[in-house]
Amino acid sequence: MSILGLKKKQPKTFKVKVITMDAEMEFSCEVKWKGKDLFDLVCRTVGLRETWFFGLRYTVKDTHAWLKLEKKVLDQEVPKDSPITFHFQAKFFPEKVEEELVQEITQHLFFLQVKKQILDEEIFCSPEASVLLASYAVQAKYGDYDPNFHKLGFLAQDELLPKSVLMQYQMTTVMWEEKITAWYAEHRGIARDEAEMEYLKIAQDLEMYGVSYFAITQNKRDTDLLLGVDAQGLHIYSPNSKLNPKKSFPWSGIRNISYSEKEFTIKPLEKKNDVFKFYSSQLRVNKLILQLCIGNHDLFMRRRKVDTIEVQQMKAQAKEEKARKKMERQILAREKQMREDAERAKEEMERRLFQLQDEARLANEALLRSEETADLLAEKAQIAEEEAKLLAHKAADAEQERQRLEVTAMKTKEEKRLMEQKMREAEQLAVKLVEQSERRLKEADHLKQDLTEAKDAERRAKQKLLEITKTTYPLIAAYSTPPAPPEPADFSCESASVNQRLDFKDSDMKRLSMEIERERLEYMEKSKHLQDQLKELKSEIESLKLEEQQQQAGVYGLHGEARGYVQEPVYIPHSNRNSAYMSQMAFFEEV
């Protein structure tokens, strides 16, 4: 067989790449395959039975188109790339997701597609609804919230909110994550399929949910409009508002839809209503609009009929599957609760074990400390006993010392009394000495006065004596003998006795001052001052006495010179000296 013959017998194939919302698949298709063959292969691979909602979308000349099932794949305007890329997506949307979406895989694919459309801002969503939807998306992905596992920042890599929502508020990523986590924590106990269904229930109430938009013009003046096709019917929007339609045509009110090249015609069911015509930019756009209108209308009519046997079987199976999963979740929840209880009990036991170990360790340490304390107490008791003996000995010594101090105190009291008596005597003596010094001072003053008077009398007597001696010397010599001068020895003796007495008193004062100094320092100063005064008085008195003796001696010397001879001293008794002197002075005065 030739090589050319082998090539003719090999079936011709082409590569196809199908991208679902969560996976990518590649198939090798035969050239004769129709769109239905490829579509059924993808559905079998995914495990999808609710095939009427989905289709294979491709892009041609920047326009989306859906693969027709009744035509061959290569006969359609598919890209010429290898492999040919198709997107397996929902082509039609249900009116009520909780009633029409039966299989879990169908719910999951719708969830992924609607979530992507919201994040890509193909479906407008308010900020508060975006946060709530994001919390259900997190619940579907991560399960129940666990604060020990889901730390702050675990959503940093997830895209959960549309960019327009993030730009509207001056909030950081952490702040948004905190708000989403707060809602996420409230969804505890919700399974993944339930969280995805809750997401779709909220999303189906959004204005742009399940709507396919096309740019049209109403007339040849090129008035720009938007045509929206969804599960409810056809809607006309202004270009700047995709939320609120200007005009709507429900499927129940449309009798016929047709197009002729770029012109599209909508005929209402009621003939009194005007026919609505609009124009599209391309012919293929009209074909796509018509294809979507036919598919949505068929589903609209199908919902209002009794479910087929296939759908009933799927719903029954889905119900049984949900019941089974619910029971499994309940069993799992109980087991999880039991495991958590067991873990908590284990943690409690471990904590209790650690606590008991700590208590045992502390008890051992306390025992060791008590033993050490007992040893220390024994040593302290021995030391205390020795100290007690020492203290007893010291107490006896202290008692003896106390008794000795009592005796000493008694002696001290007696000595103090004697000292006070001596102090009083010293004070009396000092007072007497002061009085005596004052008296001596007065006597000195009186003697000075007498001396002055004696000098005056001597001067006068000298003058008279000189006059008399010139004329009557013989007569004086006959009747009178010159008086002997007063013996200075007697005065000196008296002065010496006074000095001796003063010296004796002075020595007593010194001895008393030394005794008083030990007891009263203040009194010592006073006594010392008084002693100095007494010494000064003594010196003054002695000087006066000496001056007086010298002056008397001088008077008698002059008197002898005036007579012109020296007479022998005549003894005169001490008792008669003053009288003789006075009589002699009286004789001179009479002369």
Binding residues: 68-71, 287
Cα 286 to chain centroid distance, Å, stands at 73
Question: Greatest CA separation found in the chain?
Answer: 222
Identify whether the C-beta of residue 261 lies closer than 8 Å to the C-beta of residue 248: no
Please tell me the distance from the alpha carbon of residue 168 to that of residue 465, in angstroms, as a whole number. Answer: 152
Enumerate residues 6+ apart whose C-beta is below 8 A from 211.
Answer: 228, 229, 230, 235, 242
Reduced to 3 states, what is the DSSP secondary structure of residue 503?
helix
Reduced to 3 states, what is the DSSP secondary structure of residue 78?
coil
Specify the DSSP class assigned to residue 486: P
Please tell me the distance from the alpha carbon of residue 366 to that of residue 332, in angstroms, as a whole number. Answer: 49
Reduced to 3 states, what is the DSSP secondary structure of residue 81?
coil
Six-digit token string for 521: 């320092």
Q: Which residues pair with 216 in a beta bridge?
A: 225, 280
Nearest to 53 by CA among 97, 116, 86: 97
Identify whether the C-beta of residue 207 lies closer than 8 Å to the C-beta of residue 235: no
Sort 75 into a burial class: Cβ within 10 Å, 0-12 / 13-18 / 19+. Answer: exposed
Nearest to 106 by CA among 84, 82, 126, 89: 89
Whether residue 488 has a cis bond before it, omega within 30° of 0: no
Helix and strand numbers (H, E) in the chain are 13, 12
Reported as half-sphere exposure (CB side, CA atoms, 13 A), residue 282 has a value of 13
Six-digit token string for 220: 């040849």
- Give the strand pairing for 84-90 and 212-217: unpaired
> Which amino acid type is present at position 351?
R
From residue 437, alpha-carbon distances to 72, 428, 493, 541 in Å are: 164, 14, 19, 9
Please tell me the distance from the alpha carbon of residue 26 to that of residue 359, in angstroms, as a whole number. Answer: 67
Please tell me the distance from the alpha carbon of residue 236 to that of residue 239, in angstroms, as a whole number. Answer: 10
Phi/psi for 263 (5° steps) reads: -95, 135
Residue with tokens 């949900």: 322
Identify whether the C-beta of residue 96 lies closer than 8 Å to the C-beta of residue 204: yes
Please tell me the distance from the alpha carbon of residue 249 to that of residue 383, in angstroms, as a whole number. Answer: 113
> Which amino acid type is present at position 121?
E
